Structure 1
Amino acid sequence: MPNTTTVAEIGALLHKYQCPLSYHAVRTRILGSLARYDSVACPLSVILRFWDGAFPDLANFSQAHDVYQALGVTLWQELSKHRLSHEPFKSLEMSLTPLSTNLDVSGMVRVQEIEGFIAGIFDDGEETELPWPAFEAVTHLGDIRTTFFGLSKLMKRASETPGNIDKIAQIIKHMAILTSVMEVEIHATVLSCWASQKVVIAQPRLQQNEWWAWREPSLLNVTDHGSLAVC
């Protein structure tokens, strides 16, 4: 598969091999893995986790190559650029109008983008260490995720009630503003972790009190709250 792989092609590949994650969640999960300050992410190990640790059934080496080329090379390289300050992260583009169908799904896409990013940073664990700026940004992302979850429910109710065009338009506007904030917080996390990763490589003996652990035992449960602890 050439390096000109498109979003549609990657989405079709994920669907073909029954990946439990959609393209938008795969994308942010890779970005979260790239942002981890304490290790060098291995593309293959990250990709395997999309299928719960085991590669999908593939007929031959060519198919395995296509999957790795699309996710571990093309998409990986595309997302790596966001470790630069002048390459801000942008969420999956969605063109919404009050007359669009399944409007509530758009809010859940943002929820899943945040969940994918956090899962990548936490490496599927329950605890990780973050530099303070990244900790603040991740905490804000938790709040943003909860808000998107609520907006999705609000959008669903509004869409099911006739004559709510103005209300739906207002919700779409709020979601667009919140998406911009989400993008800023994700990029801030990536920049903070990447800067710290370079420091760790150059000077591994950092004082423990310069780092914080952020725990989220059940990220998928919107009623749970993370707890803050000093390392």
Structure 2
Amino acid sequence: MKKTAKVPVEKVVKGLLVKHACPVPFHAVRTRFLGNIATPEMSVSPLQIIKDLWGGELPPFDSMDEFNTLLEALVQGLWNELTRHQKRSQPFRLTRTPLDATAANLGLYARIRLEELDGFLEGLFNGEEAVDLPERAHEAVGHLEELRAMMAGICDLVARDPKADDHTQLETTFKHLRELTRIMETEIHEAVLSCTRARRQRLEATPTAKPTIH
């Protein structure tokens, strides 16, 4: 009997986000989920997080099957797949965007990174103005906010001069962006690991109620 090839989670989720007109692009959904997985906030609700992708309410469905398909892809698929990055041996990677060195692509590259960083920080803070982060995660967030400001600056620069055509300079800038991407990935992963350790220690320190002997 011929086996049917399993469709990758990424392809399934991307298709469903488009089908249901999700305003958050897939690359930002990934990082938002990862931030939600890592957050020290103990009241994270995957269903509410999914609702937040559509501004707080789920999109309309023609049937319960459609709803269950979306929920399964986002929670059982993407969310569970991202939980592996809580291990040191499974570093997170941002979306790969092999692009030619043009001004338009430079703006696109920077915007994707900006949206990814926004997604991760939004997920990590889980709607709060501030969260009690462990030291290494707090340090990582500071670095990520600086990198976010740099990406926003590049987007603004390209918007002001969209036809910049100095190819050598663009090549150099793309090279720097790829180096900055590696730094982003390192800081995101360190934040996730730091929060995971802190949450585990907190759970281990919580006394469990012993049964009463009558």
Is contact 2:140–2:190 with CA below 8 Å preserved after alignment?
A: yes
Match of 2:201 in 1: 199
| Structure 2 counterparts to residues 109-188 of structure 1, below 5 A | 109-156=112-159, 159-162=162-165, 164-188=166-190
The number of residue pairs the alignment matches comes to 203
Shift of 1:6: 3.9
Shift of 1:103: 3.0
Change (3 A) 1:3 1:29: farther
Q: Percent identity?
A: 32
Shift of 1:104: 0.5
Structure-2 separation of matches of 1:131 and 1:8: 35
- The structure where helix makes up a greater share of residues is 2
| Structure 2 counterparts to residues 46-125 of structure 1, below 5 A | 46-99=49-102, 101-125=104-128
- Give the aligned residue type for 1:128: V
Is contact 2:137–2:190 with CA below 8 Å preserved after alignment?
A: yes
Is contact 2:35–2:121 with CA below 8 Å preserved after alignment?
A: yes
- Return 31-40 or 125-134, whichever deviates more: 31-40
Match of 2:18 in 1: 15
Structure number with higher relative contact order (C-alpha < 8 Å, ≥ 6 residues apart): 2
**TM-score, normalisation: structure 2:** 0.88
Is contact 1:29–1:119 with CA below 8 Å preserved after alignment?
A: yes
The RMSD of aligned alpha carbons is 2.0
**TM-score, normalisation: structure 1:** 0.81
Shift of 1:203: 1.1
Shift of 1:127: 1.5
| Structure 2 counterparts to residues 211-222 of structure 1, below 5 A | none
Match of 2:211 in 1: none
Structure-2 separation of matches of 1:40 and 1:84: 22
Q: Deviations over 1:32-63 (max 9, x none)?
A: 00001231633222111111221100110111
Q: Deviations over 1:118-156 (max 9, x none)?
A: 111111121211011100000110001011122233445
Give 5+ residue unaligned stretches, structure 2: 208-214
